[in-house]
Amino acid sequence: MSQHFKQDIVIIGAGAAGLTLALELADTHRVAILTKADIREGSTLYAQGGVAAVLSDKDTVDSHIRDTIDAGVELGDPEAIRFTVEHSKASIDWLIDQGVPFTRYGSGDEYHLTKEGGHSHRRIIHSADATGRAISKTLIKNALNHPNIQFFPDRVAIDVVTTTKLGIPGESRAIGVYALNLENDSIEVFSGNHITLACGGSSKVYLYTSNPDTASGDGIAMAWRAGCRVANMEFNQFHPTCLYDAKAKTFLISEAVRGEGGKLLLPDGSSFMHKFDPRGELAPRDIVARAIDHEMKRLGINHVMLDISHKDEHFIKEHFPNIYKLCLEYGHDITKKPIPVVPAAHYTCGGVVVDQHSATDVAHLYAIGETAYTGLHGANRLASNSLLECVVYARSAAEKILNSKAAELDISIPDWDESKVTDSDEDVVIAHNWQELRRFMWDYVGIVRTDKRLLRAKHRVDLLHSEIQEFYANYKISSDLLELRNLAVVAHLIIKSAMSRKESRGLHFTLDYPEKLPNSQPTILTPKQ
């Protein structure tokens, strides 16, 4: 017998997007927030740089729009870009009202703005070099203090429950979620009038990633199975600079380090970015990542170096206190010498197709944050536009939900049926498939692609998918199995999208089609009903 929970709003994920939506709705709605691990764990926590917004008299909305279009290699949706940028200041004001401690100039009232790759102005408002942590900590504190918000940690969402899946005729509508309770291995049912996927991206599909372990594409896979379109899944952003250290695992070195003068060097101390782009270290991330990848393959090296040590020691410690501290823990003093860095999968620019209010193709199902495809990022995300997108579209979704007049459906979601499954004694199969999938995605569908590599990846993911489905149908589910199932779906979507794009644009670079097409459209995939 499954335990049932009923709320007005069910949100899966407690990053900037999910928390913003919850706080905007909680005064009038009962909100449940499900998280896979501790409520503080998620991609927002690890975001270092800041939030891009037009906050200076020297900056303009049109300039921010142009930079976003340029970084996205003219594949972004102009309406989505303008909508986001025009709501940027209001979003920052909202975060400030929530109590986010953004960094100021000295002891004055003026906020410090930094500059990152692809931006033509200083427009990144930040909290030292741990902006995501500051936002996460503030919003979680406010959510925990709100009587209408209830957290359910250690819950892994399995699937969205829709009226179509229950055999109810008419328009497909989301009415709930099945979730695995990791504390007791039971399956619970969460029902709500509105369901929101705020689960983050899918960078864990790659062997090396800057993301936390929770970023396994759950929201994208669940939405696809529920009948939602996805778009631009071929565009996976690789952050150019993650600390190359086995112990560090996924520690990201903020782009702001390069924004404040950090130089990329080869092992012999020579610079190389000027050979690839006149903007050098401040070129967009796709260009920097490809340049590093090129030099690593050309020289047969495992990493390049990032050097900020020529700057004043006090300046470095003041601007990058967390990066300085954590690098020092691993034996790298950034004030004295260059540090080893390597690209790693960082951000999913595609996702679940949504409208301006974050609504998906399924009624009452929303997707926000990195799970969603709004059209903002195009073929490459401009630095620090992601946290902005989280807040803008979460608040827009809240506006639609608050104005919704839809009646609550009186439908009872059935208990989870485990009557025909058994305990697995073959967990080694899951572990092996997990490693195989992430390895071939890194080797064949990484920073540089070819038709032959993509075809090899497709053959392997097709075989894995059938194995995983058989496992899922016959054995009791586990967190690892659910994540593997979702990663296989996401891998399939990435490969299919990459195979359909016969050009190189932004984050999708293929040796078989190295040029851009004169006219290009987003890649949109529709699930079979």
66 noted as active-site residue? no
Buried b (16+ CB within 10 A) or exposed e, 203-236: bbbbbbbbbbebbbbbbbbbbbbbbbbbbbbbbb
Amino acid at residue number 330: Y
Query: How many C-alpha atoms does 442 have within 13 Å on its Cβ side?
Result: 17
DSSP code per residue over 380-399: SPPTTHHHHHHHHHHHHHHH
Amino acid at residue number 151: F
Residue in the structure block whose two tokens are 């905007």: 24
Please list the residues that pair with 345 across neighbouring strands: 209, 238
Whole-angstrom Cα distance, residue 466 to residue 471?
9
C-beta of residue 21 within 8 angstroms of C-beta of residue 194 = no
C-beta of residue 208 within 8 angstroms of C-beta of residue 214 = no
Cβ-proximal residues to 459 (8 Å cutoff; 6+ apart), any chain: none
Whole-angstrom Cα distance, residue 450 to residue 470?
31
Please give the helix or strand (H or E) that residue 134 lies within, else none: helix 131-144
Helix and strand tally (H, E) in the chain?
15, 20
Catalytic residue among 123, 155, 258, 285: 285
* Closest among 207, 122, 127, 209 to 383, alpha carbons compared: 122
Q: Which residues are catalytically annotated?
A: 285
